[in-house]
A and B are shown apart, each in its own frame.
Chain A
Amino acid sequence: MSERLQDWLPRLVLAPSFLLVLFFVYGFIIYTGYLSVSDSRMLPSYGFVGLDNYERLFKLPHWWRALNNLWVFGALYIIICTALGLLVAILLDQKIRAEGVLRPIYLYPMALSFIVTGTAWKWFLDPGIGLEHTMQQWGWESFAFNWIKDRNFAIYTVVIAAVWQSSGFVMAMFLAGLRGVDSEIIRAAQMDGASGFTIYRRIIIPLMRPVFLSAFVVLAHLAIKAYDLVIALTGGGPGQATELPATFMYSYTFTRNLMGIGASSAVIMLIMIFSIIVPYLYSELRSEKKS
């Protein structure tokens, strides 16, 4: 009896976690998918309407604006965070004094909630009370920085706040990668007379391809999920200037009561995330099995 229990126990104790995730994540995603092909409006309703909701979704200028904003925000966010993170990591790798104190400071923003970051940056960037106001009070009368109120530039304020929050953390990823590079290879290159810059460009950075890939996956999924930062910073405005798919979905559900369209936008977001993580996880699994 106890023998059999010992055989079964590992699977038995794994079951609750497994089933909870299966049911509450995948089960609910299927339900969302089902709503997206139904005629639900304010309440769920189960009349099948095929791909009508998707058709209507992709005819909405509002949705296209959200997608376009996601593209602008996501691209800048990923590129700037990666570039800054890599540069600062290389800097920190040069035997900086008191690095142990400095690293936590770089990482501090990541420990904060996006909602706090968004709110704080909202005040800093507000022309009436923040940076512009302060600069003018200190005597720089012509100083102007009102991007947050400007339809054409508001999306860049989201990038600023998001980059401030995440670059330290990308730095930590790269720093760990740099520390993992075999010092023998570098010594050999130095013996051959390679300069510091060449060593980084030709040897170290190519060796860190896996880190670039993980940084990309982490940043990309954060960008697609971005919700709280925008809600706190701009509320999607001015107008719809900083609307992202997540805030779009929320407003179509709870303020416009169009559940079917909201659900179809959620499904599109899920497809975007899956198209990033599935190849990544697949490659992870394959490399795992090889080694």
Chain B
Amino acid sequence: MARAVTTQRKTLNTVIAWGIGLLIFFPILWTILTSFKTEGQAIADPPLFLFFDWTLENYAVVQERSDYMRFLWNSVIIAGGSTLLGIIIAVPAAWSMAFVPSKRTKDILLWMLSTKMLPAVGVLYPIYLLFISLGLLDTRIGLTIVLMLINLPIIVWMLYTYFKEIPGEILEAARMDGASLKEEILYVLTPMAIPGIASTVLLNIILAWNEAFWTLNLTAANAAPLTAFIASYSSPEGLFFAKLSAASTMAIAPILILGWFSQKQLVRGLTFGAVK
């Protein structure tokens, strides 16, 4: 809603809102800044905000100590792979529900979506036991499949809500012009569906990237992604603040960049489509 607000009130509100924003962002900002300081500067009194000798030393130490690149690579493969696999399975399903709905479509959708809310512990045993018997523990392929499965409902749902926004009349017009199903999908639907698919991909990469329950429980050394990397730093012994900051900055850097572009998708996905 929009109401007339006096200039003074407006300024005050802006100041308060930015104050809250700063408060929320401060822990992230401070961690990033500290990661570029030396250990001495990190605990300097009074604290140094921007004017210190910027150094990359902490990053070198963290990389050497725990091979950051390997974790990063695992994260990229697992998040990317599970998203790709999920999209391949979900696009036809979402297409079918959005454009050829039946009486049960809405029920099936909500039923699928509800599974995303269930606690992972409910299926931990069977998946764990299955992984042992198939030798999938601590493998990237195993984790890719599990993350695809747990995010499949949300992928189908998101794609469905995006596809729903494509006007059906266009399809009818194409059909009237004598387009076959194949042509209809290739030349009419696909170009219109790309933005929705891209948004879903973005959302799902973030969800898979952040997934910790399965990555912590099903990996040890080989397939461990960045969530496991950061968890290994969760006991601070032997490390100092600047290096801890470097480690967590490295863990969140890809998300900080992706996150800026995908706020909308994130809210839409996490509210299960309630907020567009």
A residues at B contact (CB < 8 Å): 6, 9-11, 13-14, 16-18, 20-21, 24-29, 31-32, 35, 44, 88, 91-99, 102-116, 118-124, 126, 128-129, 134, 137-138, 164, 168-169, 172-173, 176, 178-179, 181, 183, 186, 190, 196, 204, 211, 214, 217-218, 221, 224-225, 227-228, 231-232, 235, 245-246, 249-250, 253-254, 259, 262-263, 265-267, 269-270, 273, 277-278, 281, 284-285, 288
Contact = CB atoms under 8 A, between A and B. Distances in A.
Contact of B100 (A10, A24, A259): A10
A18 B216 CA distance: 27
Contacts of B43: 134, 137
Question: Most chain-A Cβ atoms within 10 A of its Cβ — which of B93, B119, B233?
Answer: B119
Contacts of B181: 6, 9
A17 B110 contact: no
Interface of B: 1-3, 5, 9-10, 13-14, 16-18, 20-21, 24-25, 27-28, 31, 43, 45-47, 89-90, 92-93, 95-97, 99-100, 102, 106-108, 110-112, 114-115, 117-127, 129, 149, 152-153, 156, 181, 206, 209-213, 216-217, 227, 230-231, 233-234, 236, 241, 244, 248, 251-252, 255-256, 258-260, 262-263, 266-267, 270-272, 274-276
B231 A25 contact: no
Nearest to B98: A10
Given A16-B93, A24-B127, A249-B121, 15 more contacts: A10-B100, A18-B112, A20-B149, A29-B118, A95-B2, A102-B18, A106-B21, A114-B212, A119-B234, A122-B234, A172-B267, A179-B1, A218-B272, A231-B216, A246-B213
Contacts of B129: 44
A99 B21 CA distance: 11
A137 B270 CA distance: 41
A128 B238 CA distance: 13
B1 A104 contact: no
Contact of A92 (B17, B31, B99): B17
A14 B149 CA distance: 15
A288 B272 CA distance: 15
A128 B126 CA distance: 41
Given A94-B13, A104-B263, A120-B248, A263 B125 contact: yes
Interface SS of chain A: helix, strand, loop or mixed?
A: helix
Contact of B153 (A11, A21, A126, A211): A21
Given A104-B260, A183-B2, A186-B1, A173 B267 contact: yes
For B102, B123, B156, the residue with the greatest tally of chain A CB atoms inside 10 Å of its CB is B123
SS class, residues of chain B in contact with chain A: helix
A126 B236 contact: yes
Contacts of B217: 250, 254
Contact of B255 (A98, A112, A121, A245): A112
A116 B13 contact: no
Given A91-B17, A113-B255, A218-B271, A284 B110 contact: yes
A28 B14 contact: no
9 contacts: A25-B115, A28-B127, A109-B28, A110-B266, A176-B276, A204-B1, A227-B120, A228-B216, A270-B118
A23 to B, nearest CB: 9
A149 to B, nearest CB: 13
B248 to A, nearest CB: 6
B217 to A, nearest CB: 7
Contact of B121 (A176, A235, A246): A246
Contacts of B124: 32, 249-250, 253, 266
Contacts of B227: 113, 115-116, 228
Nearest to A117: B27
B216 A108 contact: no
Sort A-B residue pairs by CB-CB distance and give the 9 closest, nearest first: A111-B259, A13-B92, A113-B210, A228-B212, A10-B96, A10-B100, A17-B93, A28-B123, A28-B126
Contacts of A218: 270-272
B189 to A, nearest CB: 13
Contacts of B31: 120
Nearest to B206: A111
Contacts of B275: 172-173, 176
A258 B40 CA distance: 48
A17 B115 contact: no
A17 B156 contact: yes
Nearest to A88: B20
A116 B248 contact: yes
Contacts of A103: 263
Contacts of B17: 88, 91-92, 96, 99, 102
A11 B92 CA distance: 10
A115 B212 contact: yes
Given A108-B25, A253-B124, A285-B107, A93 B1 contact: yes
A281 B231 CA distance: 35
A114 B255 CA distance: 12
Nearest to B127: A28
Contacts of B210: 111-115
